[in-house]
Amino acid sequence: MLVLSLFLIQVYMASLQGVQAAITCNRAIDLVFVLDVTTPLTPIEFLREKQFIKNIINNFAVDSNYGAKVGLVLSGGSYDSKAVFYLDTFEDRENMMLAIDFAVHQDKGRITWSHVALRQARKDLFTVDRGSRLGENPLVVIFITGNTPAWPLGATLEGSFLEQSGITTYAIGIGKKITKTELNAVSIDPKRSLVVNSVYELAGVDRALASLICRQRTRDPTTIQKCENDPKADIAFALGSRAIREDGLAPKVTRLVNNLARRVKVGPDGILMSMLPEFCFAPGFKFMDYETKDEVLGHFDRIENTLPSTADLIRTMVSTTFTPEHGSRPDARHLGVVLVDSELQEPDDAERAAMEARKAGIEIFVVGVGRNITYAELERIASTPPRQHVTMVDNYCTVPSVHFKLFDLLC
């Protein structure tokens, strides 16, 4: 018998209508499954449990830009949980489904270390470096278990930490070894937990749950961490070359600036911000300027060649941005945030420019945007240690989430 929950009415309606086609949710959602592999199930039942997960995913458009990103963590009968795949591992549905198929049922009947798996989901999967779009779209965990947690208090704490981080958790229990009370402690809201007697009672739940998640609102963390000492810092953001010349990309960077500004003290005694280049590379020309196709094409070639390189922007920080004439404060921390969205054309020159910046007291934080950029080339221009000054994201849609890593660096 299903325990009353937020799903109940939708599950009941789905059961009346029989098997239905999947809904189509085109929203950007970061979705992580935490699957307990200690649940006492037969091999056939475990296959149905994995099919349940696949059915949920089939309701979403899987896309690294504007669709769903999916991760999977296995909760076992020991302290070691296992991330089968992260939010940035798969961009296609087929390989994701194969990875779910290969998940192994283990430690059957033992108590599950669910708090370890939930912690891994929160700390290792919901991160910018692993492709999460933190603060930009709904963040959801679906916890599926059929066993008693090894440390009930730990599971409760992790449920609370997920909630405080703006991550919505749904908890589903299978069988009689897990109680509604234990699930409520993880989901926080009892309306987000559900208990069934067997995997066969999950029919219809996948579609109902997917429908709820698709309507999920983006949540801000309920406890937004503040800088303890309100640091005094001047931060300059340098746009990548694609963001300078392509419409629609620069606003992603401004959202990064906006996200950071919301979490720190901005003002003469706190954080001041700047963005460069300050001028527009407009490709305009008059009717009278050119008379042939070659002349027109030559104009655009010249415009392309005048775009500032990464080295140019870093040198502008040294010569202009971080100077008293432009409002920079000598007694403040100087931090240059450099976005690199294409292969460095002259990496040696960029490295020399970064060395000049560091000699001038400017700390360089580098954001690599896209998969055609290597960590090694970013490391050449970043300050040390690299793990604190280099981050990589898949695309500009994820750039606004970088404010979490910048916040950690500042505070």
The predicted structure's pLDDT at residue 300: 67
Q: What is the mean pLDDT of residues 262-285?
A: 81
The predicted structure's pLDDT at residue 304: 56
How does pLDDT run across 209-250, given as a tens digit for each residue?
Answer: 999 999 988 876 655 566 777 899 999 999 998 888 777 888
The residue with greater pLDDT, 364 or 246, is 364
Which H or E run includes 196? strand 193-196
- Residues 178, 150 contacting (CB under 8 angstroms): no
Residues whose CB is less than 8 angstroms from the CB of residue 2 and which lie 6 or more positions away in sequence, other chains included: 8, 11, 194, 195, 196, 201
Residues whose CB is less than 8 angstroms from the CB of residue 267 and which lie 6 or more positions away in sequence, other chains included: none
Average pLDDT of the chain to the nearest whole number: 87
The predicted structure's pLDDT at residue 108: 67
pLDDT band at 334 (very low <50, low <70, confident <90, very high): very high
> Which residue bears the tokens 């500032």?
308
Cα–Cα distance measured from residue 391 to residue 74, given in angstroms and rounded to the nearest whole number: 26
Handedness of CA 82, 158, 71, 187 (dihedral sign): positive
Question: For the whole model, what pTM was predicted?
Answer: 0.73
The predicted structure's pLDDT at residue 408: 87
- Give the DSSP per-residue string, 143-192: EEE-S-BSSHHHHHHHHHHHHHTTEEEEEEEESSSS-HHHHHHHHSSGGG
Cα–Cα distance measured from residue 8 to residue 20, given in angstroms and rounded to the nearest whole number: 17
Residue type, 215: R
pLDDT band at 14 (very low <50, low <70, confident <90, very high): very low
Q: Which of 30-44, 48-62, 171-185, 219-233 has the lowest mean pLDDT?
A: 219-233
- The distance in angstroms from the start CA to the end CA of the chain is 50
What domains sit in the chain, N to C, each tagged with a CATH number?
8-214 (3.40.50.410), 233-410 (3.40.50.410)
Q: For 312, left (φ over 0), alpha (ψ -120 to 50), or beta?
A: alpha
The predicted structure's pLDDT at residue 248: 80
E-state strands within 345-388: 362-369
